[in-house]
Structure 1
Amino acid sequence: MGKEEKKDEKGGDEIVTAVYKLNLHCLQCARTTKKPLMRTQGVHSVDYDIKKGEIKVIGKIDGKKIHQQIEKISKKKVEMTIVAKSKDKKEPVSTITTLKLPMHCAKCEHDLKKMMLKHKGVHGVKSDLKAQTLVIEGTVEPPKLVKYIHKRVRKHAEIVVKKPDEKKPVEKKEIVKEVDVKIVETSKITDKGEEKKIEVKFKETTNPYFIHYVYAPQLFSDENPNACSIM
């Protein structure tokens, strides 16, 4: 592919309507000019009016480059009258489809791109010989593109579907609760002697370390057989 073809692939991101004025003698003259324009990268549609001597081109195009191309095709002086952004909301939505199919060499790649641009509704084609893929922009449904390729060149094409990014599961952090321990000691004198009562009061918090419990001493207890007693 030459430098001129690479330059043609570069177009604007917005849809533009350009009107060119030139001398159209007959219907055949108009068709001869329209046919190569429809194969140009980024061109969506081409209409002509023989009486007014006008050709209207709509697409993601560079108005100056199309102007030069029309002059080259018709070999006539062409005047560019209007270049404006298209506001037609009824225009079909353009989508991008990636197809995987065998391409043996650079010529095979070039012929496929040229063939796809002939299809009505195909606005742009980008190819990758190493990846064996065609990226097609236009209003044609992907299954129809597959049938078109098989019909014209007898090649089996597959639609490449992008897999959604798998979300990694969020790891749940373990929260270790700490108990804020408060020891309350009370003493009571009885016939058996002084009895001490210890109460443990605690409050839960969320600090990351373990808890150790403190139990009341069993020094003076009737339930403990090894406890001391006062005589």
Structure 2
Amino acid sequence: MGFLDNLSDMFSDITITKRKRKPMQTVEIKVKMDCDGCVRKVRNSVTSMKGVKSVDVNQKQSKVTVSGYVEPKKVLNKVKSTGKRAEFWPYVQYNLVSYPYAPQAYDKKAPSGYVKNVVQALPNPNAPEERLSILFSDENPNACTIM
């Protein structure tokens, strides 16, 4: 029994490290795709990654949406490995931005309903004159009660 006790002591000191599971993420990437072959090539490259749950390719918007337990940088590198020019999706929906026609936000190349995600398009929370001007605006339904 001396040998077995020694052996069990040796294995009890080894700590088993558990891997942290990556969080579920949705990664949106802008990729220039010209034909159905390009779409298939990008879809197959991303689908083969470990942890990918779903892949949605929209050729008209040049957008690839990947959901799963993946890292955004690895997905971007995998799409770039197909030989396509790719970048993270730089646009936000038009209705989520306060100033969609800010100098750098409006982009003619953006899909319909989207503008670029830039700081100038977002409202400045420290600007009190903007909040006061909204109070007396014609679009505010409660403006009559204030006056």
Give TM-score scaled by structure 2 length: 0.48
- Which structure has more strand as a fraction of its residues? 1
Normalised by the length of structure 1, the TM-score is: 0.32
Higher relative contact order (CA 8 A, sep 6+): 2
Bigger Rg, which one:
1
Higher helix share: 2
